[in-house]
Amino acid sequence: MSTTTLLLQLIVILTTARVCGWLLKHLGQPSVVGEMAAGMVLGPVVMGALFPGVHAELFSKASLGGLTSLSTVGLVLFMFVIGLELRPQQGVRQQVRAAGFVGLLSIAAPLVMGLAIAPVLHPALAPAGVGFWPFALFIGAALSITAFPVMARILKDRGQAGTPFGQLSLSAAAVVDAFAWVLLALVVAMAGTGEGYPGLLKISVGVVVLLAVVYLVLKPAYAWLLRTRAPDGEPSATVLAALMIGLLACSLATEWVHLHAVFGAFLFGTCLPRDDRLLGSLAERIEPLSIVVLMPLFFALAGLNTSASAFSGASLGAMGLIFAVAAIGKIAGGAAGARLAGYDWRDSLATGALMNARGLMELIVIKVGYDAGLIGPELFTMLLVMALVTTAMTGPLMTLIAGRAKTVPVTEAAPST
Amino acid sequence: MSTTTLLLQLIVILTTARVCGWLLKHLGQPSVVGEMAAGMVLGPVVMGALFPGVHAELFSKASLGGLTSLSTVGLVLFMFVIGLELRPQQGVRQQVRAAGFVGLLSIAAPLVMGLAIAPVLHPALAPAGVGFWPFALFIGAALSITAFPVMARILKDRGQAGTPFGQLSLSAAAVVDAFAWVLLALVVAMAGTGEGYPGLLKISVGVVVLLAVVYLVLKPAYAWLLRTRAPDGEPSATVLAALMIGLLACSLATEWVHLHAVFGAFLFGTCLPRDDRLLGSLAERIEPLSIVVLMPLFFALAGLNTSASAFSGASLGAMGLIFAVAAIGKIAGGAAGARLAGYDWRDSLATGALMNARGLMELIVIKVGYDAGLIGPELFTMLLVMALVTTAMTGPLMTLIAGRAKTVPVTEAAPST
């Protein structure tokens, strides 16, 4: 893999991502939707079909190692900032029950519906040798993902982050994330290690040990480091390096216990002190490069895994089915949960619509499933399209249900649950 | 190349870099010296000798693609910021002649001395098939490098950036950089393309076209973009992406004309408006990750190319010879140039000592030569050690010659040349 190829790949990917982001921004979409679309455009479905020769040469299999490494680092940095930004929001304690309801039902509905359609999908779309249950559970897990960061971004863009349904959805998304990731990890581990329950046990022990190390050792150690060496919240190069080393070590640890590196990165972010100045200065140092330069690479690599055959004949039917189940399951499940917790219909439906945004998280999930051999290129494509469309529909749906910029602080407006 | 390996490599490299940086900082060295030393430590000479099994597994040839890509991106970003920071300093116009003298003599002396020792080095150390002249010219070019950024850092750390010799050295280093890089590119192109003079002509035409495009098209285009879209010097994600795309395109263009990507990155940096706020906000967004995370990877990769055989018997003699020629040629050449331009002995010697800092730039040069097949692992090692020692000796030498923190503004103290 030459420097020339890598530079050319980076130029093409960044340019496409910005152009698509710019186009879709004019349709009122968050930039992540444009970047996801850019990934599709760079894949075999669009660029590969229009310029097969150029595409085959620019993105040859042998040349993707560099992009993959850069995108891995980007993903780890991205998830770290997401973890860092996660904090108990005002009013969250009152919302624990409500968030639990929404989280549980917005997982259960698409999960059960996913299991229900799995018998239809398995014969035609499962790779050879993948048993029914790992496949079905993966489909269920993939449909039950909610994208915390995209949701946060959409709410922020619309000025609705402080609304009751905004706060409820953010809390519920955290519940969903934790649950769906664990489910996904279990499925992948079951299928991937081929060890069945002993494998699961090993993973569970690994996760418990990791959680103990992160929260009982790293948390106080880094709190001390930051208090003594960066009291103003401005980490020096040495402190930044120490943070990066901790981040990479946690990512590595989750890889070791058969979870994905992104999980450890997120976990490490959550263990740092909730300090606004620290968050601000770290985000300032990390986000520009990781979001502008590195994340588009991840989307492009996802797009390269897609297959044009997903867009023909019977496959289109399967894609429609997957999309319908994903959207209906999430929105209905989320809305039912909020309603049960005492929110009115409007807020409940808004919550359901927000839970339906899958964004980047879904891409990470289907990449994990693809890497583990649980799905092939065709189903990967269908799930990617589903992720793109469910994310893109969130904004318009929210406008329909809740209008724009209704900013009632949650502490005043939360129902007395 | 798995995610696990990449994460492990990153952890080991970052940790070693910080530990070595910390140790050498206590000896009064700039952190770059520590990071260069960390590269050596991670190579076959130290870690490979102490833990051969671990070393072979962790840094297997097949696993280095990810690190290489990350380090390429780091290098490009680093050189971009260096270019961005380059600006006509106060008093530079008065110093053009002096900087010319110092630059010329501090190139000529080590270059001629390098050519003189090349007949001694060629039989034993040139790779099979490399002719005498490309080899000799490369040695000359490699010895005549001066590291602008390390010099700037040393002067800043010592509070001597505003002194006459500080200003003179910085200006002269820019002259040396331009000349030595062009010389290097010519040598590599001659040897690499095997086309001799037609190859040189092609490169020269390419460079002229590139300079025209960068200064006549990109310079006004980006000035307009930054004026209209980032009037406060705070680039949005879109503007940052546009900058990254321009940066990558210039890097790619220099690769195409057989110069190295770093040259285009530097060039692009120099074409942006000299705006302190822009420089500040870009440096803030780019430097933390590129310097803390990515540059150590470059040093580690350099260290992996070293060979323990450079430290035995006759090779030690050759290494001593190379070091002596490099140091004496640079210091004497630089001092003679300053003296000719009318500076006193103290300032002249200080200037010579500063010109002798080769730092990171030398590593880039020897990597280029190594990649082009002009030198083998043994000579690579000798030149790397030379770079490390000449850089490390700059600080102590400066203390000896000029003391610390003598801050006479150049406009008051510059000789009337």
Nearest Cα of chain A lies from the Cα of B183 at a distance, in angstroms, of: 21
Q: Which residue has the higher pLDDT, A207 or B390?
A: B390
In whole numbers, what is the pLDDT of chain A averaged over residues? Answer: 85
Please tell me whether residue B163 adopts helix, strand or coil conformation: coil
Give the list of residues 6+ apart from residue A272 with CB closer than 8 angstroms, or none.
Answer: A84, A219, A222, A223, A226, A243, A278
What per-residue confidence (pLDDT) applies to B292? Answer: 85
Does A408 have pLDDT greater than 50? no
Confidence grade of residue A196 (pLDDT, cut at 50, 70, 90): low
CA of A116 vs chain B CAs: smallest distance (Å)? 34
Measure CB to CB from residue B14 to each of A8, A244, A256 and give the nearest one. A244
Residue A186, pLDDT score:
75
Return the pLDDT at A387: 94
* Cβ atoms of residues B55 and B44 within 8 Å: yes
**Chain pair A-B, CB pairs under 8 angstroms:** 133
Over residues A55-62, the mean pLDDT reads 90
Residue of B289, B291, B298, B299 to mutate for A, most A C-beta atoms under 10 A:
B289
Say yes or no for a CB contact (<8 Å) between A4 and B72: no
pLDDT at residue A276, rounded to an integer: 85
With an 8 Å Cβ cutoff, is B411 touching chain A? no
What is the identity of the amino acid at B13?
I
Do residue B4 and residue A244 have CB atoms under 8 angstroms apart? no
What is the token pair recorded at B134? 């490309």
- The mean-pLDDT minimum among A41-50, A155-164, A341-350 falls in A155-164
Is residue A364 predicted with pLDDT exceeding 80? yes
Task: Tell me which residue has tokens 């839970």.
Answer: A355
Do the beta carbons of residue A22 and residue A301 sit within 8 Å?
no
Position A268 scores a pLDDT of: 94
Task: Quote the pLDDT of residue A332.
Answer: 96
pLDDT at A29: 87
Name the pLDDT band for B267 (thresholds 50, 70, 90). Answer: confident
User: Region A43-57: what's the mean pLDDT?
Assistant: 92
Q: Does residue A109 register a pLDDT over 90?
A: yes
Q: Which residues of B touch A290 (CB under 8 A)?
A: 289
pLDDT at A416 over 50: no
Alpha-carbon distance of B330 to B333, in angstroms, equals: 5
Pairwise pLDDT comparison (B73 vs A154), residue with the higher score: B73
B168 within 8 A of B224, measured Cβ to Cβ? no
pLDDT at site B94:
62
For A191-205, A247-261, A350-364, B106-120, which range has the lowest pLDDT when averaged over its residues? Answer: A191-205
Q: Is B289 on the interface with A (CB under 8 A)?
A: yes
pLDDT single digits (tens) A294-326: 889 999 999 998 888 888 888 899 999 999 999
B92 pLDDT exceeds 60?
A: no
Residue B44 sits at φ, ψ, to 5 deg, of -65, -20
Say yes or no to pLDDT of A161 above 80: no
Judged by CB atoms closer than 8 Å, whether chains meet at B69 and A1 is answered as yes
Domain B3-413 top-level CATH class: mainly alpha
Confidence of residue B413 (pLDDT cuts 50, 70, 90): very low
**CB < 8 Å to B31, chain A:** 237
ipTM confidence score: 0.84
Q: Would you call A72 and B6 a contact, using CB atoms and an 8 Å cutoff?
A: yes
In 3D space, the residue among B184, B191, B208 whose CA is nearest the CA of residue B368 turns out to be B184
Under 8 Å between Cβ of A258 and A186: no
| Mean pLDDT along residues A76-105 | 78
Model pLDDT for residues A8-40, shown as the tens digit of each residue: 999 999 999 999 998 998 888 888 889 889 999
Handedness of CA A245, A248, A252, A253 (dihedral sign): positive
Question: CB-based contact (8 Å) between A153 and chain B?
Answer: no
B237, pLDDT greater than 50? yes
Distances in Å between the Cα of B274 and the Cα atoms of B35, B87, B277 are 30, 7, 9
Interval A253-276 mean pLDDT: 85
Q: Which two tokens stand for residue B60?
A: 């297997």
Give the whole-number percent of chain A exceeding pLDDT 70: 92
Would you call B237 an interface residue with chain A, using a CB distance cutoff of 8 Å? yes
Determine contact: B417 vs chain A, CB below 8 A. Answer: no
pLDDT score for B334: 94
pLDDT at B412: 34
- The chain-wide mean pLDDT, for chain B, equals 85
Q: Where are the alpha helices (DSSP H) in B230-341?
A: 237-256, 261-271, 276-287, 295-304, 313-340
**B 44-103 → A contacts, CB under 8 A:** 65-70, 72-73, 76-77
Check residues A149 and B5 and name the one with the higher pLDDT.
B5
In this predicted model, which residue has the larger pLDDT, B30 or A334?
Answer: A334
Mean pLDDT of A196-203: 69
Interface residue of B61, B73, B76, B256 to substitute, partner A, most A CBs within 10 Å: B73
pLDDT value of position B276: 85
